[in-house]
Structure 1
Amino acid sequence: MRKVVLQAVDIHKSYHMGRDVVIPALRGANLKVSAGEFVAIVGPSGSGKTTLLNVLGLLDTPDSGELYVDGIPVVGLDDDELSEMRLRKIGFVFQYYNLIPILTALENVELPLILAGALPGERIKRARELLKMVGIPHMANHRPTEMSGGQQQRVAIARALANKPSIVLADEPTGNLDTKASEEIVSLMKGLNREKGTTFVVVTHDLEVARKADRILRIRDGKLYEVDEL
């Protein structure tokens, strides 16, 4: 049996708009992801996808429910403990890459390693290995403005993998890319999943991306439902 690396149990989250308006985003969401899985979460705008990802990524705190990362309960941890958990256990890939524009590709990938306290020689070696792994070793000294969208997303994926996280959370990773670049990024993530055992949870509105997953979940009315096909 594979290790469970992410588990959400009966997660609720609401937002307060003004004094009297409460908008429920998650209404008892449950999720269990095992090591080596590639899971897609789909749903329309306003269904709670972003809220769910923020909670899973420890960027937002649920109102109630339980959340475990690598078997560690995270509800109730203080800000420093949550930051350390994010740094060590979770990789993030975003729709708009979130690279730092004044840094090179190599320096962007190095950032999580610097935060984790890696020595200069170690982190440079690791960052170069990761850029090679995602297929762009020749872009190491290029800044984001000198790269295509697909190349920037490859850097973002390399950065997400820097500290060997237990799980990578990807928020619309192909949403800002053309069809060819989207296909390449999905193939890259699937290859990392298959060859390196990297665990992915991908939130997407792109059904073609979702169909590449091992398992598809649909979020509706703040809850998650497993689906057989799209």
Structure 2
Amino acid sequence: MERRIVLETVDLVKNYYIGRKIVVPALRGVSLKIYEGEFVAIIGPSGSGKTTLLNMLGLLDRPTSGKVYIDGIDVSNLNDNQLSEIRLRKIGFVFQYYNLVPILTALENVELPMLLAGVPRKKRIKRAKELLKSVGLEKFMHHKPNEMSGGQQQRVAIARALANDPSIVLADEPTGNLDTQTSKEIIALMKRINLERGTTFVIVTHDVEVAKEAERILQIRDGKISEVKKL
């Protein structure tokens, strides 16, 4: 049975403008499909359009032209409130610098997306505890980010990304701020979640070792995308 498409772009173009006349193309007609349960890496040199593409996939920015579909929904003409709702319920984010709220505990950070989604307190605390346990942090639930290592903070960020059971998790250089051993542990954790939960992951990375762990590798260069058969 063919897997469901959870994310698709069609002829995605993004231009930036310097003044009125100078056009800087960041994406030049990117079309891709991400299927349910995939573990995909997007690689490319600095300035190739990786982050721009991730911002489009995560509905953090709007394309100049082209289409983005999330779970079959054409998001091109949605307003900001509608886009926020889709981001909240269908997309999880993991960032290089974790982006945890410093005044909140690990438990509260994981709760936050569920709080925004209107999940009742008892239910969100129960799920947050389960998620922290699944990433090996049951003993750190009441620690704040400055009381945890970088690897532990990234585990909290992964648990938070899963809070609303998203269709897809987008990770932007998730190991970029970690040492080699911790990086391996974080990628292994993501792969385990991918296999056990069927969560779809798209990871933007410059790290070849991280990319090699992916089921499929997409390369972006000069704003165009192609599939890589082998690294």
TM over 0.5: yes
Displaced runs of 4 or more, over 2 A? none
SS of the residue aligned with 2:33? Answer: strand
Aligned to 2:152: 151
SS of the residue aligned with 1:169? Answer: strand
Show CA shifts across 1:96-132 (max 9, x none).
Answer: 0000000000000000000000111000001000001
Aligned to 2:112: 111
Aligned to 1:37: 38
Q: C-alpha separation between the residues in 1 aligned to 2:111 and 2:77?
A: 30
**Shift of residue 70, structure 1, vs aligned partner:** 0.4
- Residue type at the aligned position of 1:213: A
Q: Which runs of 5+ in 2 are unaligned?
A: none
Q: Which runs of 5+ in 1 are unaligned?
A: none
State which drifts further: 13-22 or 52-61.
13-22
Show CA shifts across 1:155-176 (max 9, x none).
Answer: 0000000000000000000000
Aligned to 1:54: 55
Q: C-alpha separation between the residues in 2 aligned to 1:91 and 1:119?
A: 20
Aligned to 1:101: 102
Q: C-alpha separation between the residues in 1 aligned to 2:17 and 2:138?
A: 46
Aligned to 2:194: 193
Q: C-alpha separation between the residues in 2 aligned to 1:17 and 1:180?
A: 42
Q: How does 1:1-230 map to 2 (within 5 A)?
A: 1-230=2-231
Q: C-alpha separation between the residues in 2 aligned to 1:56 and 1:69?
A: 8
Q: C-alpha separation between the residues in 2 aligned to 1:72 and 1:146?
A: 40
SS of the residue aligned with 2:68? Answer: strand
TM-score (norm 2): 0.99
**Shift of residue 18, structure 1, vs aligned partner:** 2.1
Work out the number of aligned pairs and report it.
Answer: 230
Percentage identity across paired residues of the two chains:
70
Show CA shifts across 1:49-98 (max 9, x none).
Answer: 00000000000000111110001110010000000000000000000000
SS of the residue aligned with 1:11? Answer: strand
- Residue type at the aligned position of 2:43: V
Q: C-alpha separation between the residues in 1 aligned to 2:164 and 2:141?
A: 18
**Shift of residue 31, structure 1, vs aligned partner:** 1.0
Q: C-alpha separation between the residues in 2 aligned to 1:121 and 1:196?
A: 23
SS of the residue aligned with 1:46? Answer: coil
- Residue type at the aligned position of 1:26: L
- Residue type at the aligned position of 1:19: R
Q: C-alpha separation between the residues in 2 aligned to 1:228 and 1:3?
A: 22
TM-score (norm 1): 0.99
SS of the residue aligned with 1:12? Answer: strand
Q: C-alpha separation between the residues in 2 aligned to 1:80 and 1:168?
A: 20
Q: C-alpha separation between the residues in 1 aligned to 2:151 and 2:125?
A: 22
- Residue type at the aligned position of 2:226: Y
